[in-house]
Amino acid sequence: MKVLVAEDDTLSRVLLERTLQRAGYEVTSVDNGERALKELQKEEAPRLVLLDWVMPEKDGVDVCRAVRDIKGHAYTYLILISSKERKEDIVQGLESGADDYLTKPIDGDELKARLRAGERILELEDRLVEAREDMRFRATHDLLTSLWNRGVIVELLSRDVTRARRENSCTAVMLCDLDHFKSVNDHHGHGGGDDVLREVSRRLHASVRSYDLVGRYGGEEFLVVLNKCEPASAITRAENLRNAIAARPIMAAGKPMTVTMSVGVALSTDFVSGDAGELIQQADMALYAAKGAGRNSVRMARPNTLQNADSDLKTGLRGDEASPVLSGRDTGCS
Amino acid sequence: MKDGRKNEPEVLRIRSEPATQDWNVQELLERVEGDRRLMRELLVMFRDENQRTMETVRVSMEERDLARASRAAHAMKGMLKNLAMGATAEIASSLEAAARNGLLSESEELFGKLEQALAQILPQVKAQLIEAQV
């Protein structure tokens, strides 16, 4: 465990360092409050701190206050050290944000016992943070694939579309559906189906940029959101996704199998008045067309979709006769 | 002044018995958990540092900078307490408080007492260092 010692008196500092090192602590020491604060603002800073009260630059009480003002860091356990023993001094020290108080000269056994108490508090805090993070993850992610769950990916898409409109950029929505997934479950059981869903998720995630979003939209449906996507490259990006699945077999229940995916694409710049819901709907219709075109392919929704959707879905899409964007062939799925 | 409090009774607490009787070497040895090498290191530090710190107190009082004198006395007190030199630490503590409260003549008197106490304790420190070398 790392400990920071801030003590301006060399003799006291050396004594503390040796006592702590002998007890197995990894000690960093500084000789004034300003340096202590700098150490505590670093990544991976010690979380157990012994602070002398009277120090140049910033005293121990100042450091306590400043540490408590730092947001976002894990909790730091602060022990003030001083020769002040009056009740009001102790109260002032604790009120400044210190967790504990030791008086000089320091008894080695007492020091170690108080540090162990500090470690217990930090462990408790770590467990609480871990439990909170776990709950947060469960509330926002699909537990099988670890992708964003449906509610969150739709919400994130909604924010992204708003941002794209404000910044005059394009967000591409890609609704991806595994072809013949039912037969995967029929032939390999649900365990095999889960293997496929996990691997598809991993490949989709690996195929996009760190700031793009991938979520599980439904059973075997995935929603991919590419922000700041050049409209001209959207089809290529969708093709990359499709190919990431089809190019290599996936191990399902210990056996390799070919899996393919159809993709429907909608661009926010093509539906300028539409919200996230409409973009998903457009991408869904494009996906429907991709399925109709033989699966393992990509289709893009066009702006006139809404006008023609009722009469003929295909006319609302970048149709076969006019479209340069169709790709792929149905490689089938076992 | 950060910890300044006027007219504290601790200013008047000046021990009259010789400080040297109060050096508890056994307590120091326990504090360093029997590590005689560390004890020697600390004593060498004290031997080298105490004169410089006392000089800071003296010059600060001459310049009527009692806040600085108080800080130096505080440092001296810390060293003495760590080395289990309790009575001498008490004098340094009184000097720290007197200087902090701006009491020049008391500070000068306590400074003299602290010098005397150190004059008695330093030979013992040097003897310990020689003993530790053997």
Rounded distance, CA B47 to CA A201, Å? 69
- Tokens 């210990």 belong to residue: A254
Q: How confident is the model at residue A33 (pLDDT cuts 50, 70, 90)?
A: very high
- For chain A, the average pLDDT equals 88
Whether the pLDDT of residue A47 is over 60: the answer is: yes
| Among candidate residues A125, A71, A80, the one with its CA nearest the CA of residue A106 | A80
Lowest mean pLDDT among A89-93, A156-160, A215-219, A260-264: A89-93
The contact set of A with B (CB < 8 A) is 8-12, 14-15, 18-19, 22, 54, 59, 83-84, 89, 104-105, 107-108
Q: Which residues of B touch A (CB under 8 A)?
A: 2-3, 31-33, 35, 38, 41-42, 45-46, 49, 71, 74-75, 77-79, 81-84, 93
pLDDT at A254 over 50: yes
Instruction: Please check the confidence at residue B16 and state whether its pLDDT lies above 60.
Output: no
How far lies A83's CA from each of A106, A270, A328, B1, in Å?
9, 72, 78, 17
Give me the phi and psi of A137, to 5 degrees please. Answer: -65, -45
Q: Which amino acid is at A289?
A: A
CB atoms near residue A39 (< 10 Å): 17
CA quadruple A203, A207, A209, A211: dihedral positive or negative? negative
Per the model's pLDDT, the better-predicted residue between B19 and A102 turns out to be: A102
- Residue B128's pLDDT band, with cuts at 50, 70 and 90, is confident
- Packing angle, helices B66-82 and A10-22, rounded to 10: 30
Residue A172's φ and ψ, nearest 5 degrees, are: -100, 130
| Confidence check: pLDDT of A194 > 80 | yes
Distance from the Cα of A139 to chain B's closest Cα (Å) equals: 50
- Residue B21: pLDDT band (50, 70, 90) is low
Which residues, 6 or more positions from A308, have their beta carbon under 8 angstroms from its beta carbon? A315, A316
User: Are A83 and B81 in contact (CB < 8 Å)?
Assistant: yes
Ranking A73-87, A141-155, B82-96 by mean pLDDT, the lowest is A73-87
**Mean pLDDT along residues A106-123:** 94
SS (H, E, C) A278-292: HHHHHHHHHHHHHHH
Is residue B134's pLDDT more than 80? no
Check whether A34 has a pLDDT greater than 70: yes
Between A55 and B13, name the one with better pLDDT.
A55
Mean pLDDT of chain B: 84
pLDDT of residue A186 exceeding 80: yes
Residues A118 and A77 sit within 8 Å (Cβ to Cβ):
yes
Q: Is the pLDDT reported for residue A88 higher than 60?
A: yes
- What's residue A304's pLDDT? 62
Within 10 angstroms of residue A131's Cβ, the number of other Cβ atoms is 10
**Phi-psi bin for A57: left (phi > 0), alpha (psi -120 to 50), beta?**
left
Which among A22, A84, A105 is the nearest to B33, CB-wise?
Answer: A22
pTM: 0.65
Report residue A31's pLDDT band, with 50, 70 and 90 as the boundaries.
very high
pLDDT at A314: 39
- Say if strands A261-267 and A26-30 run parallel, antiparallel, or are unpaired: unpaired
Predicted pLDDT at B114: 96
Q: Distance of CA B55 to CAs B49, B77, B107, Å?
A: 10, 15, 14
Tell me the per-residue pLDDT of B83-115, one tens digit each, with 9 for 90 and over: 999 999 999 999 999 999 999 999 999 999 999
SS3 for B49? helix
- Min Cα distance A14 → chain B (Å) is 8
pLDDT reported for residue A323 = 41
Do residues A100 and B23 make contact, with C-beta atoms less than 8 angstroms apart? no
* Residue A89: per-residue pLDDT: 79
- Whole-angstrom distance, CA of residue B100 vs CA of residue B107: 9
Q: Which of A44, A95, A119, A220 is the catalytic position?
A: A220
Q: Are the beta carbons of B41 and A8 separated by less than 8 Å? A: no
Predicted confidence at residue A302, as pLDDT, reads: 86
Neighbours of A4 (CB within 10 A): 22
User: If 0-12 CB within 10 Å is exposed, 13-18 middle and 19+ buried, where does residue A185 land?
Assistant: middle
Residue A320 has a pLDDT of: 40
Rounded distance, CA A71 to CA A76, Å?
11
Q: Is the pLDDT of residue A273 over 90?
A: no
Q: Which of A113-117, A274-278, B19-23 has the highest mean pLDDT?
A: A113-117
Q: Report, as an integer, the average pLDDT of A34-59.
A: 90
Output phi, psi for A333, to 5 deg.
-150, 130
pLDDT of A132 higher than 80? yes
pLDDT of residue A327: 40
For B28-47, write each residue's pLDDT tens digit: 999 998 999 999 999 999 99
So what's the pLDDT on residue A172?
Answer: 96
* Locus of tokens 């699945």: A245
- Residues A73-96 have a mean pLDDT of 84
pLDDT band, residue A313 (cuts 50/70/90): very low
Instruction: Give me the mean pLDDT over the A151-166 stretch.
Output: 95
